[in-house]
Amino acid sequence: MNRRNFLLSLSAGLALAPAAGWALDNAGASRLIDTLVKDINGVIESGKGETAMFREFERIFARYSDTSYIAAYAMGVEARRASNSQKKAFSKAFQGYISRKYGRRFREFIGGRLEVTGVKKVKKWYEVDTVAYLQGQAPFKVTFLVSDRSGQDRFFNMYIEGVNLLLTERTEIGAIIDRNKGDIDKTIAQLKTLG
Amino acid sequence: MKMKMRATLPALMLIAATLVSACAKPTSEQLSEGTIADPNEQRNRAVHEFNRGVDRFAFRPAAKGYVAIVPPDMVTSFGLFAENLSMPGQAVNSVLQGNFKQAGIALSRFAINTVFGIGGLGDPASDFNVPRVDTDFGETLHVWGVGEGSYVELPFFGPSTARDTTGLVVDFFTNPLGYAKNTPVDDIDIYAEVVRRLGDRGTYSDTVDSILYESADSYAQARLIYLQNRRFDLGQTSENSEIDPFELSTEGF
């Protein structure tokens, strides 16, 4: 089982960048992912310090993913009792947490490539199937979910070898909230230090 | 020695398997929601802590040492060697699943890689475009209609299900190589498998560490990741399982 792959591939997902006017077809998606790999490698090869790199990844994440959906999903039912300012703070802290947690692993992506194998429409979103080829390991499947819910094409989830990344993060966030005895403010404060 | 190894190792698995009651088949709704049946969570968590200790003090350091000393290409070769030794057993499982084509592929791989791959250390079969095979008796049971049953964390082996634990035990006893008389070393398949796992632990060290040691609840993470990946491998991942992004309230985020 490719637990490693699943973490690695988030790297790709974080930066999956639906450019303006992107028509979702195989060629467009393939081009997009090629750009993504180049962008990631660009940040890695820039030789910046780790902190600066995390900021870059956070920027990429904020720009190309449906951050409000991702934060809402990750918070799960706990969101019902959260105030709007808590939700906002959580969303921001979560973005930083994700960028640090997966940004540290972008390095492993050097020399890798993602190949788009198909795009299909499911309900109101698109699933982009890809195969990831990373150095020194067997190829594995990564599926990106893209929607225009927010008015723009953004990715909102990804599956690596069947592992739903958002569901995994929601489980983790739930555990952190439990550890803080349900205190949302403490959870947010702790998220800022994790990842 | 051979009988001893074959008798003692799976004893733990058998105990775990028998402790788990009936194999209830999850409904498609449960699968789509990623529902988890874990009635023995308390015991599983205790085993998880045990496994973390084993990893922290024995397996992880050994694996790190192994991949630090042995060059990556050799680590890969030893992994392929173990995989090759499992091919006859996988061919048997393929037949039991009624998948004769896959059985043929498994046997071809075994023949090609044993002969042209220096006893299985290389993988020339892949160069000849013979696809990889990855099956087990747990999958055979799945094909026969057995549900996954309760989640189990096995000592030393880690995440599994009631059904796959049974599969593990059956595979252990039915590997044709285990009964071959002229293997160079007794139980070579077992040792090869241990070395393969050591290599995987070392190669994927950062990822495994992040799940086992950096997560707020490593038990829940390992359980979720294992079950989703296993269901995916068995082709059980139901489509359209995603919450409709247009229906989730994102107000305030």
- What is the ipTM metric for this complex? 0.79
* Contact across the interface for B225 and A175, Cβ inside 8 Å: no
CB contact under 8 A, B228 and A162: yes
Cβ under 8 Å to B: A residues 18-57: none
CA distance A19 to chain B (A): 20
B157 occurs within a structural domain: yes
Nearest by Cα to A127 from B214, B161, B245? B245
Higher pLDDT, B249 or B192: B192
Residue A141 phi, psi (nearest 5): -90, 135
| pLDDT attached to residue A22 | 45
Residue B240 in domain: yes
Which strand (E) or helix (H) includes residue B87?
Answer: helix B87-96
pLDDT for A73 equals 93
Give the pLDDT score at B8: 55
Q: What is the pTM of this model?
A: 0.83
Query: Could A124 and B230 be called an inter-chain contact, meaning their C-beta atoms sit closer than 8 Å?
Result: no
Q: Number of folded domains in chain B?
A: 1
pLDDT band at residue A16, thresholds of 50, 70 and 90?
very low
CB contact under 8 A, A145 and B242: yes
Contacting B residues, span 182-241, partner chain A, CB-CB under 8 Å: 203-204, 206-208, 210-211, 215-217, 220-221, 224-226, 228-233, 237, 239-241
- Whether B6 shows a pLDDT value over 90: the answer reads no
Return the higher-pLDDT residue of B80 and A195.
B80
Q: What is the pLDDT of residue B23?
A: 47
Tell me, what's the pLDDT at A26?
57
Lowest mean pLDDT segment, chosen from A79-88, A154-163, B35-44, B178-187: B178-187
- Cβ atoms of B26 and B148 within 8 Å: the answer is yes
Give chain A positions within 8 Å (CB) of B252. Answer: 79, 82-84, 87-88
CB distance B248–A73 less than 8 Å? yes
Interface residue A106 vs chain B (CB under 8 A): no
Q: What is the mean pLDDT of residues B133-140?
A: 95
The pLDDT, as a whole number, for residue A120 is 81
Q: What is the pLDDT of residues A78-106, one digit of tens each?
A: 899 999 999 999 999 999 999 888 877 77
Q: What is the mean pLDDT of chain B?
A: 85
pLDDT band at B233 (very low <50, low <70, confident <90, very high): very high
- According to CATH, the topology of domain A3-191 is Nuclear Transport Factor 2; Chain: A, (3.10.450)
* Residue B140 pLDDT grade (very low, low, confident, very high; cuts 50, 70, 90): very high
Contact A59/B at CB under 8 A: no
Average pLDDT rounded to a whole number, residues A156-169: 90
Contacts 24+ apart (CB under 8 A), B66-75: B66/B195, B66/B198, B66/B199, B66/B202, B67/B199, B67/B202, B67/B203, B67/B205, B68/B202, B72/A136, B72/B203, B75/B199, B75/B202, B75/B203
List, in sequence order, every residue forming a beta bridge with A145; answer none if it has no partner. A127, A157
B53 located within any domain: no
Taking contacts as CB-CB distances below 8 angstroms, the residues of chain B near A152 are none
**Using 50, 70 and 90 to split pLDDT, how confident is the model at B15?**
low
Structure tokens at B2: 């051979």
Query: What pLDDT, on the 0 to 100 scale, is given for residue B29?
Result: 47
Mean pLDDT across the stretch A182-191?
Answer: 94
Q: Which residues form the domain of B73?
A: 2-6+60-248
Question: Is B147's pLDDT higher than 60?
Answer: yes
Residue B245: which of A6, A71, A125 has the nearest Cβ?
A125
The whole-angstrom distance between B235's CA and the closest CA on chain A is: 9
Positive or negative, the CA dihedral B239, B241, B242, B244 is: positive
Q: Number of H helices and number of E strands within chain A?
A: 7, 5
pLDDT in tens, A37-90: 667 677 777 777 778 888 888 888 887 788 899 999 999 888 999 999 999 999
A133 interface with B at CB cutoff 8 Å: no
Question: A131 to chain B nearest CA, in Å?
Answer: 15
Average pLDDT taken over every residue of chain A: 79
**pLDDT at residue B108 above 50?**
yes
**Residue in B closest to A166 by C-alpha:** B242
Query: What are the respective helix, strand and coil percentages of chain B, to the nearest 5?
Result: 65, 5, 35
pLDDT for res A27: 61
Q: Which residues pair with A164 in a beta bridge?
A: A159
Token output for A180? 């803080």
Average pLDDT over residues B89-107: 96
Q: Sketch the domain layout of chain A as residue ranges.
A: 3-191
Asked if the Cβ–Cβ distance from A162 to B237 is below 8 Å, we say: yes
Which among A1, A7, A69 has CB closest to B210?
Answer: A7
Asked if pLDDT for residue A21 goes beyond 70, the answer is: no
Asked whether the predicted pLDDT for residue B196 surpasses 90, the reply is yes
Task: Say what the pLDDT of residue A6 is.
Answer: 53
Q: Is residue B21 part of a domain?
A: no
Would residue B24 count as lying in a domain?
no
Least confident of A72-86, A121-135, B107-121, B205-219: A121-135
Q: How far apart are CA B104 and CA B118, in angstroms?
A: 21
- Average pLDDT on A4-25 reads 49
